[in-house]
A and B are shown apart, each in its own frame.
Chain A
Amino acid sequence: MSDWRKRLSPTGNSGDAIFRAAMFGTALLVVTIVVAMIVALAAHSTLSIRQFGFGFLTSREWNPIKGQFGALAFIYGTIVSSLIALLISVPLSLGIAIFLVEQAPHYLARPITFLVELLAAIPSVVYGLWGIFVLAPFLRVHVEPHLARWFGWVPLFQGPITGIGLLTGGVILAIMVTPIISAVVRDVLAAVPNTQREAALALGATKWETTLVVLVNGAPGIAGAVILGLGRAIGETMAVTMVIGNRPEISASLFQPSYTLASVIANEFTEATADIYLSSLIELGLILFFVTFVVNAIARLLVWRVTRRTVAA
């Protein structure tokens, strides 16, 4: 028996060895693609990294005609719109999943599951058009004036109301990530062993308390679902760009137009002729990569801390 087979597979079976090598290859491919992306993005943004240095991250100025480029407004727009999306979609998704797993009768659970999953299959450009023609006018007429009236003392809800802006961008993202988060949470809750529910009920827990036990058991999976949704929200391009107003500005008000990293790249890449312009757009891509990376890392850290505590308790 040759040495390589033994090293690849403890049993020394050549089929196992080949299988193992192939699977290792697929895993390696993912790592290679990620590394290759970072290398390519970094290589092509050297021009703007050299010219603007760290100031690129702290400057709000984005003026292609004058050759001034800064990413801060886009980073702000990306993070805030995604946070709004999560704020709306996480409770909504939890509600959908709990209802489907814990409460809904069979004849209701199936069609609702189907409809929620259908939402995930709608192309984002369709969401964008729906956003312009339905959601933005709806928010302008029925939601934003009330927010301004009751919460106008908070800077978040001040200023002129057009229906196009950070809030609308966040709401459309919320609708887009809800099917993803709720589908994963549903699977997570369904995977919680029934013995847990039975144990809780046997101890005299109400339906609500039992659900709480199930949720705590599924916490790491739920957090994973939220991270998945967040990833989609940060990277979403078409739908957001159609309703967010596309203005590289940082404004305290959610009614004001904003801009995201992904949107500006999609909007301006085709007509970027100057080398420094193109390089700056690619650097935005690199930043988007790192924003996603950092947000994911923070979320994972949170999950890890929460689960450790629950296990200890």
Chain B
Amino acid sequence: MSLSKFTALVLSAAFSIALTACGGGSSSEIRLQGAGATFPNPLYQKWLSEYGKAHANIKIDYQSIGSGGGIKQIQSRTVDFGASDSPMKDEDLKAAPGELLHIPTVLGAVVITYNLSGVSQPLRFSPDVVADIFLGKIKKWNDARIKADNANTTLPDSDITVVHRSDGSGTSAVFTDYLSKVSAEWKEKVGAGTSPNWPVGIGGKGNEGVTGQVKQTPNTIGYVELAYAVQNKLPVALLKNKSGNFIEPSIDAVTAAAAGALAATPEDLRVSITDSAGATAYPISSYTYILAYKNQSDEAKGKALVDFLWWGIHDGESFAKDLQYAPLPAEIVKRAEAKITSITAGGKSLR
């Protein structure tokens, strides 16, 4: 038994429990299973419930087991669709038994939060300053380089405590992808990934763990998802983007980042949009994707999947903002439509 099979087995055990709990369905019912990224899970659950109301004969389950698990499961075809925050690597695509499509669904962002008493207005950071804080090179809050961007703020003469995610996470992957783009030293020393080897700091488990440690410990700095920061009313920092503007993280600024990266977006839509061009773009933004096979083996299930995805990137987008996700820019919706239309079963188009 290979390693991937082993994971698949462990994960599918979770599935079968979930399935038995739901009970058996009628014969005309179509069941779809998806698994993957935790970040878009609240939105996908909303989609499933809304879509389920209008399509009673289609039952879709989504398990938020993490992007890594989602990729493994779709590779071994134990699910009908996978989901991942970062696009699959070339070698992972090659390892899959068929051609996999990346359908972007929404966008998210990573924000920098901190705990600094006596600071009332939001802090501002330049990209190189963020990188050097997380590299441990800038050690004090009143460092001249932090001061340079925050002229009107009195910064304390205290040590900076960095807080990062301890669990493997797409949030860390997006954040380190950004740091790798803006700092050559970060790229060389640490690199980008779901569980990087952090040069300094303490690790918190999940967004709630990072938030807890930042809130409880004075003089800390950390990063969390935009949605999480908004819901918990955390202080967030403004970041200087590629055009030199300090941007407050917001849903519109994230959509602007995707729009600003259109020129660089390849045909297969696998793209990193951190450090995006565009005057109002928030620099630590990213797509999240649903992964599906271009050639579906089962026509009825394939048709249901195509309809669901089509509904998602059109009607489904309207639920995004309420849950603090940024909707796709119009141009990307068009390009995602083309991807969905290209899905076939036995050479037959499904849309």
In whole angstroms, how far apart are the Cα atoms of A313 and B7 in the complex?
55
CB pair B68 A163 closer than 8 Å: no
A63 vs B204: C-alpha distance when bound (angstroms): 18
Bound-complex Cα distance A162 to B193 (A): 26
B202 to A270, Cβ gap below 8 A?
Answer: no
| Complex interface residues of chain B between 188 and 214 (CB less than 8 A to chain A) | 190-198, 201-205, 209, 212-213
A137 proximity list for chain B (CB < 8 A): 216-217
The answer to whether the Cβ of A91 comes within 8 Å of any Cβ in the partner chain is no
A50 within 8 A of B: no
Q: Mark A residues whose CB is within 8 Å of B.
A: 43-44, 47, 61-66, 128-129, 132-133, 136-137, 140, 160, 162-165, 238, 241-242, 245-248, 257, 259, 263, 266-273, 275, 278-279
- Which residues 1-32 of B have a CB within 8 angstroms of A? 1, 3-4, 6-7
Cβ of B99 within 8 Å of any chain A Cβ, yes or no, is no
Closest B residue to A61 by beta carbon equals B197
Say yes or no: is B276 at the interface (Cβ < 8 Å to chain A): no
Contacts of A63 in B (CB 8 A): 196-197
Residues of B within 8 A of A61 (CB): 197
**B169 at the A interface (CB under 8 A):** yes
Q: Name B62-99 residues within 8 Å CB distance of A.
A: 65-69, 71-72, 92
Cβ-neighbour of A245 out of B190, B191, B193, B202 (below 8 A): B202
Q: How many angstroms between the C-alpha atoms of A183 and B222 in the bound complex?
A: 41
Taking a contact as CB atoms under 8 Å apart, the answer to whether B191 and A65 are in contact is yes
Q: Which segment of B160-168, B234-242, B339-347 sits at the interface?
A: B160-168
Cβ-defined contact, A64 with B194, below 8 A = yes
The 10 closest A-B pairs by CB, nearest first: A271-B168, A246-B203, A246-B166, A270-B66, A245-B202, A63-B197, A132-B212, A271-B68, A65-B193, A271-B194
Alpha-carbon gap, A259 to B205, bound state (A)? 12
Q: How far is the CA of A20 from the CA of B204 in the complex (A)?
A: 51
Which of chain B's residues has its CB closest to A245's CB?
B202
Our pick among B72, B166, B203, B217 for the contact of A273 (Cβ within 8 Å) is: B72
Is B159 an interface residue, CB under 8 A from the partner? yes
CA distance in complex: A213, B209 (Å): 47
A-B contact pairs, 18 of them (CB 8 A): A66-B197, A128-B205, A132-B209, A132-B216, A133-B216, A160-B161, A163-B217, A164-B202, A165-B202, A241-B166, A242-B205, A242-B212, A257-B202, A267-B168, A268-B168, A271-B67, A271-B169, A273-B72
Q: Which chain B residues border A259 with CB–CB below 8 Å?
A: 203
Alpha-carbon distance between A129 and B193 when the two chains are bound, in angstroms: 27
Known: A165-B202, A241-B205. A271 touches B195 (CB 8 A): yes
Which residues of B, 40-70, contact A by the 8 Å Cβ criterion? 65-69
A164: B residues at CB distance < 8 A: 202, 213, 217
Known: A162-B217, A278-B7. A270 touches B69 (CB 8 A): yes
Given A163-B216, A278-B7: A65 in contact with B192 (beta carbons within 8 A)? yes
Q: Which residues of B contact A238 (CB under 8 A)?
A: 205
Residues of chain A within 8 A (CB-CB) of B168 are 64, 267-272
Q: How far is the CA of A63 from the CA of B202 in the complex (A)?
A: 16
Determine the chain B residues whose CB is within 8 A of the CB of A279 once the complex forms: 3
Q: Which residues does chain A contribute within 8 Å of B159, judged by CB atoms?
A: 160
B196 touches A268 (CB 8 A): no
CA distance A43 to B9 in the complex (A): 15
Distance between Cα atoms of A278 and B11 in the complex (Å): 14
In contact, B194 and A267 (Cβ under 8 angstroms):
no
Nearest chain A CB to B181 CB, angstrom units: 15
**Would you call A44 and B3 a contact (CB within 8 A)?**
yes
Assess whether A268 is in contact with B4, with CB atoms less than 8 Å apart.
Answer: no
Contact B167 A270 (CB under 8 A): yes
In the complex, chain A residues whose CB is within 8 Å of the CB of B197:
61-66, 248
Given the complex, which residues of A lie within 8 Å of B161, measured CB to CB? 160, 162
- A68–B65 Cα distance when bound, in Å, is 25
Query: Cβ of A275 and Cβ of B202 under 8 Å apart?
Result: no
CB-CB under 8 A from A275, the residues of chain B are 3-4
Contacts of A248 in B (CB 8 A): 197
Across-interface contacts of A136 in B (CB, < 8 A): 213, 216-217
A-contacting residues, B270-295, CB 8 Å: none
Q: How far is the CA of A144 from the CA of B170 in the complex (A)?
A: 34
Bound CA span A63–B209, Å: 21
Q: With a CB–CB cut-off of 8 A, which chain B residues contact A263? A: 166
Cα A180 to Cα B7 with chains together (Å): 33
- B167 to A278, Cβ gap below 8 A? no
Q: Do A271 and B66 touch (CB < 8 A)?
A: yes
Please determine whether A273 and B3 come into contact, CB atoms closer than 8 angstroms.
Answer: no
Smallest CB-CB separation from B180: which chain A residue? A65
The reply to whether B202 and A247 form a contact with Cβ atoms under 8 Å apart is yes
Min CB–CB distance B345 → chain A (angstroms)? 28
Which residue of chain B has the shortest Cβ distance to A68 in the bound complex?
B197
Among residues of B, the one whose C-beta sits closest to the C-beta of A237 is B205
Which residues of chain B come closer than 8 Å to A62, judged between CB atoms?
A: 197
